[in-house]
Each structure stands twice: as structure tokens, then as C-alpha cells.
């Protein structure tokens, strides 16, 4: 939440509901502040998150998160933002599972009688070798409730003190921030921008449009290549994964979960 005075910030974090979240995946390298206070969500914020989920308009989710943190949401890096989403989900709604819907297109074996041989059958290998088999697409629509996931926190290197200088006159880099998140998500849907937006988000500018414009004004690809390297190397945030099991054929598939507004609801 943006504060006009230090007194306003102090009044907020003195609220006993707020707690110091500790270190962030960015190690606070990109901020002037070195601590962040966060409180769990209430129904008031869930109303905004519900609106974001139903209308698919991320600004309502950003507003909800802005209301429960001690700094301006627009200045938070995108990697740290997804870490905050995970923290809020764990501390606000610990009993709410993920519900994942997916369509299985695995070609699974069928025995001579046309019965599907499940991949998770203890006798799978012997059934497979017992006689001639054919393969057909499973095509099962699955809806799984997931209670347990594996979470990996990806932090920037401890010795990173800032972003490198591209040493190209009139240019600099900056961290991708939540201020541009909606524009970045929209740009990923544009075929002309999809492969450009990753490096572009690291260019210093007041908006995503300005960042792209700076790249377009370059006489060569030096800045683009430099930003591409940073995009690949300076990674931070979270990876949350689980294993899905098809109810039709029993195949197991690794799955990376997407943290968004909908993930806060069953």
C-alpha cells in the first residue's frame, strides 16, 4: 500500500495482524526498503479476488494484495509478487485445496478384449506382455483436488547487488514490476510480442509500452541480447509443482501450478 508519510506506514505495521515476511526471493536488492509487512486476507479482500477470478481482470487481484502489504504493490517485482501470493494462500486459506481440471490425451494400451490396461495397475507389465495390445487416446477429462504440492523458492544469488549496466548510451535495466504485470500478460497473447516481451520487461522505462519503444529505437540487437541474457539468468520467485493421475488410464504427469486469483477458491 502506498503511504504518503512514514507515519502512515508505521501505523499500518503496528497493527498486530501484520508480520514481517522475512526475506524475499529478490533478497530486497531491487527496493529501497529492506523489510515487508503482510497480513492475512479477509473477506473484504476476497471480494476483490473473486471479482478478478470471474472477470479475468488482474487489477482487482493487485488491489487486494496492495491492501495487505506495507509497501506499494506497483514496486514489487513480479517474482516477489508470486511469492506473496503463495504466502497469502498458505497463511490465509491453509485448508483450501487446488482444483485442477485437465484433459488426458495419453495413448494407453488396450488388451485383446478392448479393455484399457491402466498404467498404475500393479500387473501392468505382465498384462502388457500377455497378448496383443492396441493403443488408443484416453481422452478422459479429469478434475483433481490437490492438497499437497512441492514448492521451490528461487532466489537471486546472494552476491547480486543490482542489475548489470548494458553500457549502451541512454539505456538501463530495471526489474520487472507488478506495475506492468497486466500489460505483460496481455502482450504475451500478441504473436508479434510473445518472444520479445521477456527481454523487454527488463528494460528501464515508465511503462511496458515505453520499454518496447526503447528496444525498437535501437539501431541493432545489442540491448535486446543483453536483456535476454538477464531474463534467463536473474530468475527469482517460486515454482509450485504436483503430480496428476488420470482417472481413466492411470498415467501420472508432473504439473506446474499457476498462482492466480482463481487458485484462492475451491
Which tens digits make up the pLDDT trace of 106-140? 999 999 888 999 999 999 999 888 878 999 999 99
Q: Where are the alpha helices (DSSP H) in 20-134?
A: 43-55, 58-66, 78-92, 124-129
Report residue 72 CA to chain centroid gap.
19
| Contacts for 68 with CB less than 8 Å, ≥ 6 apart | 38, 39, 40, 41, 45, 88
**What angle, rounded to 10 degrees, do the helices at 222-233 and 208-216 form?**
130
Assess contact for 244 and 26: CB atoms under 8 A: no
| Nearest by Cα to 100 from 260, 261, 263, 238 | 263
User: Tens digit of pLDDT for each residue in 199-223?
Assistant: 999 999 999 999 999 999 999 999 9
Looking at residue 9, its pLDDT comes to: 59
Taking the domains of the chain in order of start, what are their residue ranges? 1-96, 98-148+238-260
Provide the Cα torsion 201, 202, 204, 206; round to 10°: 20
Note the pLDDT of residue 21: 93
Segments of the chain with pLDDT less than 70: 1-13, 266
Record the pTM. Answer: 0.83
Amino acid at each position: 500500500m502506498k503511504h504518503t508519510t512514514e507515519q502512515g506506514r508505521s501505523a499500518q505495521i503496528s497493527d498486530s495482524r501484520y508480520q514481517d515476511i522475512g526475506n524475499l526471493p529478490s533478497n530486497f536488492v531491487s527496493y529501497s526498503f529492506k523489510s515487508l509487512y503482510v497480513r492475512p486476507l479477509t473477506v473484504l479482500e476476497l471480494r476483490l479476488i473473486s471479482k478478478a477470478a470471474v472477470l479475468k481482470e488482474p487489477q482487482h487481484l493487485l488491489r487486494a494484495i496492495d491492501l495487505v502489504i506495507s509497501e506499494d504493490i506497483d514496486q514489487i517485482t513480479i517474482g516477489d509478487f508470486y511469492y506473496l501470493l503463495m504466502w497469502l494462500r498458505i497463511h490465509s486459506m491453509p485448508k483450501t485445496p487446488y482444483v485442477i481440471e485437465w484433459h488426458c490425451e495419453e495413448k494407453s494400451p488396450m488388451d485383446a478384449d478392448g479393455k484399457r490396461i491402466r498404467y498404475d495397475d500393479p500387473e501392468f507389465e505382465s498384462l502388457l506382455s500377455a497378448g496383443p495390445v492396441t493403443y488408443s487416446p484416453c481422452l478422459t477429462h479429469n478434475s483433481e483436488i490437490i492438497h499437497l504440492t512441492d514448492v521451490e523458492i528461487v532466489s537471486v544469488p546472494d552476491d547480486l547487488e543490482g542489475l548489470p549496466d548494458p553500457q549502451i548510451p541512454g539505456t538501463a535495466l530495471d526489474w520487472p514490476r507488478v506495475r506492468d504485470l497486466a500489460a505483460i500478460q496481455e502482450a504475451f497473447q500478441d504473436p508479434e510480442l510473445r518472444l520479445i516481451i521477456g527481454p523487454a520487461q527488463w528494460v528501464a522505462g515508465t511503462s511496458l509500452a515505453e520499454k518496447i519503444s526503447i528496444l525498437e529505437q535501437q539501431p541493432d540487437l545489442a540491448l535486446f541480447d543483453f536483456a535476454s541474457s538477464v531474463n534467463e539468468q536473474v530468475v527469482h520467485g517460486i515454482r509450485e509443482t504436483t503430480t496428476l493421475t488420470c482417472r481413466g488410464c492411470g498415467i501420472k504427469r508432473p504439473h506446474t501450478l499457476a498462482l492466480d486469483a482463481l487458485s484462492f477458491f475451491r
